């Protein structure tokens, strides 16, 4: 294994430089500005060298746990497949974002929740995973079983992020029920199916339990020192509540007014990379590109497509955005790391973890990860 990496496009927080990066004990030991590779260096030539990505929101694990509706897959096998997709997308730290939610597409998330966490715990202990897997619990506040599901995991050292949310149809993300229905019909759902889906997404909820559940999660986040985000904020009132609850970020704000209010309060805005790359939100809400143009975009997460994160970050450095490369890369590395209290990674700087991605730009513009190191070890 080579301990030295050379690139003409090393993306540091202060600019893009040509140089040799020396790794030792899993960390970046030195960076030397140079036009040529040091002998023994792994030569990235004109490929970019960027910090490993930190993805704070992905439900990609669920997709592998139940690859088709009703078809459950082995939990360790699912963890391995999910991990492979993350690392090959340049994501060296991933927050497996598990919904404490009812059923979706036939997956009973309540039942699936514990086996998925256990599988990642086991695979981590056995050293089977190439990305570092942390935990983001998505706390659906209308779930009557919410607290009993969260409590057993509060001492899990991998738990670094909590978010509070309410996906009751007709609220927040699906505030415009007509539009929601229109989207579902367009996607091939018929009228009867729509009504039974609405029933499936509503029946198990307990609206009365929601305020108390939310306040308990807020208190637990404080007690355990876990970063807290709000989710799908739509109105000024939503953001005011999030801010007074101690949320440090607004995840996927669904309206411009919510994203603006979050910034006024010094909260960061997290948007989904698929929304950014596609050019619009699939549910017809706030566009991540619009957020970027207005200076309201701080963090990009992969949401449901691991490779979309890298693409979104590089698009930010191109027209019409033209963000400086360090600022664009910060949205997928330094900013999400700091939000969750991970001060040891996310930037190419001496002393930071040697989590690094060599990125080749394909002719059609796609950034392609070519080599990946985690804590100094080549893992892909």
**Residues interacting with Zn ion, by CB under 5 A?**
173, 232
The nearest distance, CB 140 to Zn ion, in angstroms, is: 10
- For residue 306, CA distances in Å to 67, 81, 219, 311, 345 come to 16, 12, 32, 10, 19
Phi/psi at 134 (5° precision): -110, 180
38 or 280: CB nearest Zn ion: 280
* Residue 201 beta carbon to Zn ion: minimum distance, rounded to whole angstroms: 12
Judged by beta carbon, residue 132 or residue 234, the one nearer Zn ion is: 234
Q: Strands, DSSP E only, in 109-168?
A: 132-140, 159-165
| CB of 165 vs Zn ion, minimal distance in Å | 6
CA distance 336 to 229: 12
- Rounded CA Rg of the chain: 21
Structure tokens at 112: 């699936």
Nearest approach in angstroms of CB 269 to Zn ion is 14
Output phi, psi for 225, to 5 deg: 65, 40
Complex with Zn ion: residue 268 or 372, whichever CB lies closer: 268
- By beta-carbon proximity to Zn ion, the closer residue of 47 and 234 is 234
Integer Cα distance of 240 and 296 in angstroms: 17
Q: Quote the least distance from Cβ 254 to Zn ion, whole Å.
A: 8
Can you tell me the distance from the alpha carbon of 218 to that of 245, in angstroms, rounded to the nearest whole number? 6
Q: Are strands 4-12 and 15-24 parallel, antiparallel or unpaired?
A: antiparallel
- In the complex, least distance from residue 88 CB atom to Zn ion, rounded to whole angstroms: 26
Work out how close the CB of 166 gets to Zn ion at its nearest, in angstroms, rounded to a whole number: 9
Write out the E strands in the chain: 4-12, 15-24, 27-33, 42-43, 48-51, 53-58, 91-100, 103-104, 107-108, 132-140, 159-165, 227-231, 249-251, 268-272, 299-301, 356-361, 367-374, 377-378
Residue (132 or 232) nearer to Zn ion, CB: 232
Which is nearer to Zn ion, 232 or 233 (by Cβ)? 232
- 92 vs 97 by CB, closer to Zn ion: 97
The residue behind tokens 């500005």 is: 33
* Cβ closest to Zn ion, residue 173 vs residue 331: 173
Q: How far is the CB of 231 from Zn ion (least distance, A)?
A: 5
Distance CA 162, CA 52 (A): 22
We find the least distance from the C-beta atom of residue 167 to Zn ion, in angstroms, to be 6
Sequential DSSP letters for 139-204: EETT-TTHHHHHGGGTT-TTEEEEEEE---TTSGGG--HHHHHHHHHHTT--HHHHHHHHHHHHTT
Query: 47 and 360 in contact (C-beta within 8 Å)?
Result: yes
Tell me whether residue 75 or residue 139 sits nearer to Zn ion (CB atom).
Answer: 139
């Amino acid at each position: 294994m080579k301990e030295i990496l050379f690139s003409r496009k090393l993306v540091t927080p202060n600019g893009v430089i040509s140089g040799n990066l020396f790794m030792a004990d899993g960390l970046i030991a030195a960076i030397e500005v140079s036009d040529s590779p040091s002998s023994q260096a792994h030569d990235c030539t004109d490929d970019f060298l960027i910090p490993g990505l930190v993805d704070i929101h992905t439900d990609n694990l669920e997709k592998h746990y139940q690859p088709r509706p009703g078809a459950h897959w082995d939990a360790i096998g699912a963890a391995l497949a999910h991990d492979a997709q993350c690392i090959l997308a340049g994501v060296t730290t991933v927050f497996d974002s598990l919904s404490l939610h009812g059923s979706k597409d036939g997956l009973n998330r309540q039942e699936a929740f514990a086996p998925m966490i256990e599988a990642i715990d086991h695979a981590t202990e056995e050293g089977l995973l190439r990305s570092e897997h942390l935990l983001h619990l998505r706390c659906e506040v209308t779930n009557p079983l919410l607290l009993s599901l969260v409590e057993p995991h509060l001492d899990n050292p991998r738990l670094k992020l909590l978010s509070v949310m309410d996906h009751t149809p007709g609220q927040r993300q699906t505030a415009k029920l007509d539009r929601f229905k229109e989207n579902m019909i367009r996607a091939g759902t018929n009228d009867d199916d729509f009504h039974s889906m609405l029933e499936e997404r509503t029946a198990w909820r307990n609206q009365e339990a929601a305020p108390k559940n939310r306040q308990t999660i807020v208190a637990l986040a404080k007690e355990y020192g876990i970063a807290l985000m709000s989710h799908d904020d739509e109105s000024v009132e939503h953001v005011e509540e999030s801010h007074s609850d101690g949320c440090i970020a607004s995840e996927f704000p669904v309206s411009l007014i919510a994203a603006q209010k979050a910034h006024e309060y010094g909260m960061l805005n997290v948007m989904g990379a698929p929304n950014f790359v596609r050019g619009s939100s699939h549910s017809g809400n706030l566009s991540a590109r619009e957020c970027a143009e207005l200076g309201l975009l701080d963090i990009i997460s992969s949401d449901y497509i691991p490779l979309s994160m890298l693409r979104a970050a590089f698009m930010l450095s191109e027209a019409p955005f033209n963000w400086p490369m360090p600022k664009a890369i910060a949205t997928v590395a330094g900013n999400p790391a700091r939000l969750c209290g991970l001060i040891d990674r996310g930037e190419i700087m001496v002393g930071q973890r040697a989590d690094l991605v060599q990125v080749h730009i394909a002719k059609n513009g796609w950034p392609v990860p070519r080599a990946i190191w985690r804590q100094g070890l080549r893992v892909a």
